[in-house]
Each structure stands twice: as C-alpha cells, then as structure tokens.
Structure 1
Amino acid sequence: MKDAGYRPAAAVMLLNREGKVWVGQRLDNALDAWQMPQGGLDPGEDPLEGAYRELEEETGIARRHVELIARAPEELLYDLPPDLIGKVWKKNWRGQRQSWFLMRFAGEDSDVNIQTAEPEFRAWKWAEPAELPAMIVPFKKQLYEDVLRTFAQWL
C-alpha cells in the first residue's frame, strides 16, 4: 500500500465557552477512544464547506451555531494501520490528509444531536485540549498533537 494516496478530508476542533473541545465516541470502535468531527471531502468540495457539512452530519450542530476562528496553514496527515487499509473506506487510501479548522461553539449543549441520519457516535463530551492525544486511537495520536500545536495560540 505504499503507493496508495491520502484521502482528502476536513476536520473541526470545536471549542466551547470554557475552552474545552467537543469529542465523540465512535459507534464502530470498541475502544474507549474519542475523536473530533472529521470526514472525507466530496469530489470538488471546498474544505471549509466540507468541515461545516461534517460537523452537522456528525454532531447535529448547525453552521449558525459556530464561528470560524482559524484554519491550519497546511494539511495534516495520518496513516492507517496496515490491517485497516482497504477496509475503512471504499478506496485503498493509506490515510487521510486533513484540512483542520478551529471553531467556537456559540450554541447550547441542547443544540448537539448525535442521533443524526447516519449516526457515527454513541456518546459525546467536552474535553480539555491537553487530554486529546491520550483519548484518540493510537494511530492518530501524532495527528492530534500536531493539531494542538497548530492551534496553540487560541487554546
């Protein structure tokens, strides 16, 4: 799979008023792992539009409840473990190249609804930014450390 490319994706670090980050616990993973909203881009989709779409699809949070703070200056990458390549997505991607966006949540917790049309999470919570690398699946730990460094001035 060394010739496989990276799936284009968008991801959101969503902060609440207390500076905590929204994380969800995936339905399809038995691990006690949490992640920020993220997902693949549709062909030709602008990364920011994809980030808003993924946020609403995964959390039920509408665009009107968030404020864009920053965009990572470059895409951030992660590699899948070899046993997951070809099983996670329809194409044999080796991982994802993600455009990351930092947003502030301006709504209320009641505006979150993970019981979406195609649910991805079984639970959600607000977490301290420094806790994020320990909460994610191990193969995304470096990615989350990179996200924290990228948005450090706003955290």
Structure 2
Amino acid sequence: MTDRPDRDALPYRDCVGIAVFNRDGQVFIGHRQSAGDPEQSAAEGSAWQLPQGGIDKGEDPLRAALRELEEETSIVSVSLLAEAPEWIYYDLPDDLLGVAFKGKYRGQRQRWFAFAFTGEDSEIDVLAPGGGRHKAEFNAWRWEKLARVPGLIVPFKRQAYEQVVDAFAHIPQRFRRD
C-alpha cells in the first residue's frame, strides 16, 4: 500500500476557470494533452475541459483568467460577461492525491469567469499558444453547448462543472437569434 498524504492537511490550489462563448452561445472546450499528466491520464478518455490555470501569488483573479486564456488558447479578443458568485471547489480522487499537482494540493479552489469571444476562430491556436511562447496544453478544441460540458470531462471534476453551468446557464440565451 502506498502512503498518501492526509487530505485534510493539504490546501486547495487557487485557480481560475474560463468559459468563452462564441456568437452562437456555444462555449470553447479544449482536449487536454495527457502525456505525463497524472490528473489527465486518469481521465479514461474524458479529457475535454474549459481553460483553467493557477493564480500566481498576488495576482488578481481576472488578470489570471485573461493570462491563462491567452497562454492556453491564444485568445485575447474577449469581453467580460460574468463572474461566478463564489469559489468552486473540487477534490482529487484518492488515487491522485499526493501525485497530481506535484503532491502539494488536495484539489482546486477556482474563480470562474465568462467571456464573449469577439474575435474570429482563426485567432484560436491551441497547438502553439501565444505564437509558440507557451507550452501547448490542448491538442484539439471545439465549440460546445455549455450544458453538455460536465458529461465530457474527467468524472472527479463533474460536480464543479455542474456548478459552472448553473452559474452561467443564462449566458447562452443572450446569443440566441430569433
């Protein structure tokens, strides 16, 4: 049996999550590269997710969201639509505790933001994000209905993603064309 750290003794990692909506009210999702990533290798093929990443020490969460979005997708043409009203948490499953996040965290505490994408799809580059200045975290992307996203991601993040859907469920209707 492998010794695992005490879950209650580990902190949550402060992060941001980003929901980017296109002109049709669909949200950007990226397919995570899993090589060498224990969090994603446990995904069993469910490696789709919204952009997300850590908040640097002293960094404002909104600035972190814009930075992470550019670092993962090359997207810079956005307009803020909403911020989730509270932090959203998820815990790592027992088999990843002490493995994922370099063993330092029990899960994530995420601040979620919704943006309208005001650019063209050609701006999006997940294979060489930021003009190649950043390591690619996704190997594919697509637009998807927000309500479908929780069913496409790793199971241990689904409850958190359901909270994201609840927080931003009103947004796709803004884009409906009659």
Structure 1 partner of 2:98: 86
1:9-57 Cα offsets, whole Å, 9 max, x none, are 0110110000001000000145142100001111111100000010000
Identity %: 48
1:97-124 Cα offsets, whole Å, 9 max, x none, are 0000010000111000112220000100
1:1-155 alignment runs, 5 A limit: 1-28=7-34, 29=40, 31-62=45-76, 65-115=77-127, 116=129, 117-155=134-172
Which protein has the larger Cα radius of gyration, Structure 1 or Structure 2? 2
Secondary structure at 1:90 match in 2: helix
Structure 2: 5+ residue runs without aligned partners?
Answer: 1-6, 35-39, 173-178
Count how many residue pairs are aligned between Structure 1 and Structure 2.
153
Alpha-carbon RMSD across the aligned residues, in angstroms, is: 1.2
Letter in 1 for 2:87: E
Structure 1: 5+ residue runs without aligned partners?
Answer: none
TM-score, with length taken from structure 2: 0.82
| Whole-angstrom CA distance in 1 between matches of 2:61 and 2:68 | 10
Shift in Å, 1:154: 1.7
| Whole-angstrom CA distance in 2 between matches of 1:44 and 1:82 | 30
Larger helix fraction of residues: 2
Letter in 1 for 2:152: M
Letter in 1 for 2:138: F
TM-score, with length taken from structure 1: 0.94
Shift in Å, 1:2: 2.0
Letter in 2 for 1:95: G
| Whole-angstrom CA distance in 1 between matches of 2:154 and 2:14 | 20
Secondary structure at 2:8 match in 1: coil
